[in-house]
A = this chain, B = another copy of it.
Amino acid sequence: MSADVTQSTPPVWSDRKPGVEDIQRLILKRICFLEYTPGDRLKEAELAEEFGVSRTPVRDAISRINHLGLVETINGVGNVVMELPPEKIAQVYEIRLHLATLIGATTPAQIEESHLDRTRDLLQQAHQLGGQVDSRQYVSVNDQLNTLISDLIGNSVLRSFWTQAYYQAASTWHRVVDCAGPEVGDALVAELVDLETAMAEQDIQAVGYVQRIHIGYGYTRIKKYLLKNCDDDVS
């Protein structure tokens, strides 16, 4: 298990005790960010000590994310981080493709200037990491992008489903990023460029289809890289 994952998550709790909601989000992020990898066993007592709380809220947080299939709780063993089987990944992406088209087909949120600003900021970040695909930074940008898209989904139910599917796909996708070369960085830039255009046009439907397109590309890369061995490390 990774040594000091604490350092990697900027928002430190040093001052305030985190609630169940915070713990849940943080654990999910750590799984998506590959700070926890399949096979790792999340020990309640360990996390409890790290967060300065008792096992109870940690248990609660883990219990809430069990239904995503990312963590399987086994009595007497631990909370094992699971690798989603390829079949399930296929199902997740199949749904994500459809959900993306629904972003524009359902009651939309209003595109405001702030969203455009955030998009440009992400685009700049994406440019900065350029060929040097430090997966940590890439993942960060990707996560912010997902949050941005979420904010653009007016239908709260769709937003919930979108987020769930994102979490299910994220860890696998980020594993692909490690394997694939800088092409994923270029792809991210391309996606953000398309996104900026769509948002400048105030066209939510276009935003959805941009997502649909690039999720499709992403899944193609998963199939391309994840079936082969991923022997070259990022060191």
Interface centre among A95, A106, A165, A168 (most CB of B within 10 A): A95
- In contact, A91 and B158 (Cβ under 8 angstroms): yes
In the complex, whether A161 has a CB less than 8 A from a CB of chain B is yes
In the complex, whether A234 has a CB less than 8 A from a CB of chain B is no
- In contact, B157 and A95 (Cβ under 8 angstroms): yes
Q: Which chain B residue shows the least CB distance to A20?
A: B63
Inter-chain CA distance A164–B88, complex, in Å, is 18
A210 to nearest B CB, angstroms? 19
Inside 8 A of A20's CB, which chain B residues have their CB? Answer: 63
Inside 8 A of A107's CB, which chain B residues have their CB? Answer: 90-91, 94
Question: Which residue of B90, B98, B102, B156 is within 8 Å of A88 (Cβ)?
Answer: B156
A32 to nearest B CB, angstroms? 17
In the complex, whether A60 has a CB less than 8 A from a CB of chain B is yes
- In contact, A155 and B91 (Cβ under 8 angstroms): yes
Inter-chain CA distance A95–B158, complex, in Å, is 7
- In contact, A157 and B91 (Cβ under 8 angstroms): yes
Binding site for B on A (CB under 8 A): 20, 59-60, 63-64, 66-67, 88, 90-92, 94-95, 98, 102, 105-107, 155-158, 160-161, 164-165, 168
A sample of 9 inter-chain contacts (CB < 8 A) reads: A20-B63, A60-B60, A63-B64, A64-B66, A64-B67, A91-B106, A91-B158, A92-B157, A95-B161
